[in-house]
Structure 1
């Protein structure tokens, strides 16, 4: 994609997210978005059909980035156990997930309170977890737990670092019957 086009789309998407931190979705107008983005109305319509299309593009883009974070690198229990025991390293894909959440903090802080997004997030996480486990109940449980932890972390204004969060989850996964050292 042309860098100028990408910059304009990004500006529109960011303006929309910023507005969503200030007012409810229903009360945001295209006029609000274009004023905040510093573009004219026709430029908005070159990129998006309407506000709903913009919302969908934002969600699709960020969930795509989260999917990428979850896929790289693939989880391996033995390697994770060795890295944690020898160097106190968290599972690397967990760290990429929390770094992603940190990068898109504003998006998640708004969207986790919207109607459809939590369901989309849950489905995407379950799909990715299902690649590592054929047990649907385990995938549903882990997805719910991860979303709950993300909600906690965001609501606490990310007091803990992404590294701390990834280490905490790693410890829970590797040693489910032990308390975390920080507890």
Structure 2
């Protein structure tokens, strides 16, 4: 892609994110985005169909960057401790974007997309390990998605109260204890 085109596209995305941090998504107009990006309105429409397309492409770009930088091709799941640490570190480095997306009124769309990505990753992992047939897969996946997405959202929206390494260590211990609890309960019965 031509550098000028890339530069205009990035300026539009940056302007959109700045406006998202200041106001409600529904009140943002293409004219405001163009003005903030210092481009004309037609340039915005050359790159994006409308503000919904712009929002969706911003989300996809950041989530794809998260996948590329946090998980190598051979480890495309969030279930290794190393991948989890890389994920939290990436979120920490890009906290402003994730905070805006998780706290704006459009956050439902972003959270849904993030949960879909987690669900795909978890399903791939469960397929690879031979999932316990005594557990309901759908309930297990939903539980883990809710826990993971909820924890990430809490961490980001509370201005990262703990370092990434602490978050990963605590989350990992909780996951391990859940497995131990189930084994102990079976033995107690």
TM-score by length of 1: 0.78
Aligned pairs, how many?
Answer: 166
SS of the residue 2:125 aligns to: coil
Aligned equivalent of 1:102:
92
Pick one of 116, 124, 130 that aligns with 1:123.
116
Cα shift at 1:103 = 3.0
Aligned equivalent of 1:159:
161
Aligned equivalent of 1:132:
125
Cα shift at 1:12 = 1.0
Asked if the contact 1:67–1:124 (Cα under 8 Å) also holds between the matched residues in 2, the reply is no
Cα shift at 1:145 = 0.5
**Which structure 1 residue ranges, 5 or more long, are not aligned?**
81-90, 179-183
With over 3 angstroms needed to count, the CA separation of the structure-2 counterparts of 1:45 and 1:126, relative to structure 1, is: same
Moved over 6 A (4+): none
With over 3 angstroms needed to count, the CA separation of the structure-2 counterparts of 1:174 and 1:3, relative to structure 1, is: farther
SS of the residue 1:60 aligns to: helix
RMSD, aligned α-carbons? 2.4
Q: Which is higher, the Rg of structure 1 or of structure 2?
A: 2
Deviations 1:100-155 (A, max 9, x none): 22233222222224232222211111111111114332222111111111111112
Q: More helix per residue: 1 or 2?
A: 2
With over 3 angstroms needed to count, the CA separation of the structure-2 counterparts of 1:9 and 1:60, relative to structure 1, is: same
Asked if the contact 1:112–1:118 (Cα under 8 Å) also holds between the matched residues in 2, the reply is yes
